[in-house]
Structure 1
Amino acid sequence: MAGSALPVVRHTLRRSRVGMAGWSVGLIAASLLYLPIYPSMGATGDLEAVVSSLPSELVTTLGFASISTGAGYAQATLLGLLGFVLLTIAAVGWGAAAIGGEEESGALELTLAHGVTRPQVALEAALALALRLAVVCGVLLVAVLVLNGPSQLGLTPGHVVAGTVALYLLSLLSGLAAVTAGAATGSRTASVAAGAGIAVLGYAFNALGHQAEATRWLGHFSPYTWAFDPAPLANGFGNGAWGGMALILGLCGVLVLAAAVGLSRRDIR
């Protein structure tokens, strides 16, 4: 095992083929569920009628302020809602299994017995997670681009790439939090709690940050806000999108380093 290049990554990807296919199908199904109905709802004014009946704070919190546009609709229904939920679940599940789950099952000790170092395990676990998420996000990107014309969304392909990258980084952050918690504790439960906690707190801080001026500061601590407030699906990589994505990417790097150090310094159970 240790003699081949990236043995942990190769082994993980081989075991994850069915899972990646399943999550890809789920994202395609979500795209088919929401995007094709935009023309009928937008043309009849149903979307604007629904939005106008809601409190302005709730409209902003849910991301419905621009829902009458193709980019706003796709963001509010797909990327910022169901796609975010599905990818977060996938990322946290994979991240929790990477080290915490392997240690609880006894497989991690077997892997280390093959001459794979602890930092290598942590780094390759993070890389395997990033690659799996890249695959399913790539499927989502293709699905949105294919449905863009028939659904009359009017999305710019480059902006779709920007929106997908933002979603990718956001879900990767939660997954890497799970990997790091597993490296630090050896517990799958702690891994899930850490990964899900990042996602839930990020979404909650974003929501509270849009509720009132007194709570607006909370949005500055929300990865969800960093990823989606610049509206990358509408504005592409402009309007400050690079700054938020760079901040998320920097935190991802910190988590990977913490995972490598944490696993190196802890007794394997």
Structure 2
Amino acid sequence: MRSILPVFRRSIRESWRSLLGWTIGITAVLFLYLPLYPSIGASDQMQQLIDSMPEQLVDTLGYDQIASGAGYTEATFYGLMGFLLMTIAAVIWGASLATAEESGRAELDLAHGIGRGQYALETALSVLVRLIWLGASAGLVIWALNGPAELELEPVRIVGASAALVGLAFLTAGAALLAGAATGRRIWATGVGAGIAVLGYILQALAKQSDDLEWLNALSPYAWVFRQSPLAEGVDVGGLALTWGVGLVFAAASALALRARDLRG
């Protein structure tokens, strides 16, 4: 009897140690930054420092609302360190399809009766589940620190911000999966995934420099979910749906790309 979701199950089984490491790392970042809010984020000295910085730089870093718990959490984690760590994980995991092909493992697996489309989709599902785990665990830690760190965050908005971060990371991973499926080369998968994330961040940063460049937000996945502060104002449902939708399209396209191309070990 053929096992259910064999590629997905094996991927989760083989990656649980690294997933645990990523979980610990993100938790450590949250425990490093958030408890400092009462003494740093809301202090007069910090506000004076922010006031002394160029306005464009403050807007780019998201420090304009750092005096509030929502602004501080978004500036330090969701919009910066959390985004960075989740992006790195997404690119590494998203490139796994190309890595398996370069090592010859994908060809061996496919020889055992696993379809190419199934192989790509189960790989994408594995990446998605791991990213959801990281986003959910980060949200739980933030919720646990909400009271002690005096952040005054609304729990439902923590959920929305975490969904935005995971969706953004999955879009990056989806781009890496698609590039890997189309080329079979890890360097292309890594480059495309990282490039999508970096370009999105740069475009929203440029959009903040001038009203004439605000149209660039429409091209930036980062801006789709973070242009409106998920913690302070609530998540932008349209931007969130667009981000998740593009990520899912990339994942589906990776299955089609893998089916349409000869593999090379």
TM range (shorter): over 0.9
List runs of 5+ in structure 1 lacking aligned partners. none
Q: Aligned pairs, how many?
A: 264
**Which structure 2 residue ranges, 5 or more long, are not aligned?**
none
Map residues 239-258 of structure 1 onto 2, 5 A cutoff: 241-258=236-253
- What is the match of residue 32 of structure 2? 33
Structure 1, 157-166 or 248-257: larger mean CA deviation? 248-257
Q: Deviations over 1:151-175 (max 9, x none)?
A: 1000011111111110000111101
Residue aligning to 1:5: 4
Tell me the residue number matched to 2:52. Answer: 53
> What residue is the counterpart of 1:215 in the other structure?
213
Distance 2:170 2:249 in 1: 13
**1:158-237 alignment runs, 5 A limit:** 158-237=156-235
Helix, strand or coil: the match of 2:40?
A: helix
Aligned partner (choices 233, 250, 268) of residue 263 of structure 2: 268
CA distance in 2, matches of 1:249, 1:21: 24
| CA–CA distance in structure 2, aligned partners of residues 220 and 64 of structure 1 | 22
For residue 88 of structure 1, what is the aligned residue in structure 2?
87
CA distance in structure 2 between the aligned counterparts of 1:96 and 1:255, rounded to whole angstroms: 13
CA distance in 1, matches of 2:47, 2:101: 51
Counterpart of 1:128?
A: 126
Q: TM-score, normalised by structure 2?
A: 0.97
Q: CA deviation at 1:253?
A: 2.1
Rounded to whole Å, the distance in 1 between the matches of 2:210 and 2:43 is 32
2:65–2:72 contact (8 Å) kept in structure 1: yes
Give SS of 1:135's match.
helix
Letter in 1 for 2:121: L
- Which letter maps to 2:204? N
- Residue 150 (structure 2) aligns with: 152
Runs of 4+ in structure 1 over 4 Å off: none
Tell me which amino acid in the other structure corresponds to 1:205.
L
Instruction: Pick which of 54-63 and 194-203 moved more.
Output: 54-63
Code of the aligned partner of 1:249: W
> 1:18 maps to what in 2?
17
1:132: Cα distance to partner? 0.6
Q: TM-score, normalising length from structure 1?
A: 0.96
SS in 1 for 2:63: coil
CA contact (8 A) 2:74 2:231 kept: yes
SS, match of residue 65 in structure 2:
coil
| Partner AA of 2:189 in structure 1 | S
Deviation at 1:216, TM superposition (A): 1.6
The Cα shift of 1:43 comes to: 4.4
1:213 CA drift (Å):
2.0
Q: Is the 8 A contact 2:42 2:68 kept in 1?
A: no
Following superposition, the deviation at residue 47 of structure 1 comes to: 2.2
Task: State the alpha-carbon separation in 1 of the partners of residues 226 and 148 from structure 2.
Answer: 25
- Give the RMSD, CA atoms, in angstroms: 1.1
State the Cα deviation string for residues 121-160 of structure 1 (Å, max 9, x = none): 1111111100011111111011101111111000011111
Q: For each residue in 1:54-97, what CA deviation from the matched residue of structure 2 results, as whole angstroms up to 9, or x when unmatched?
A: 11111111111111000000000011100100000001101101
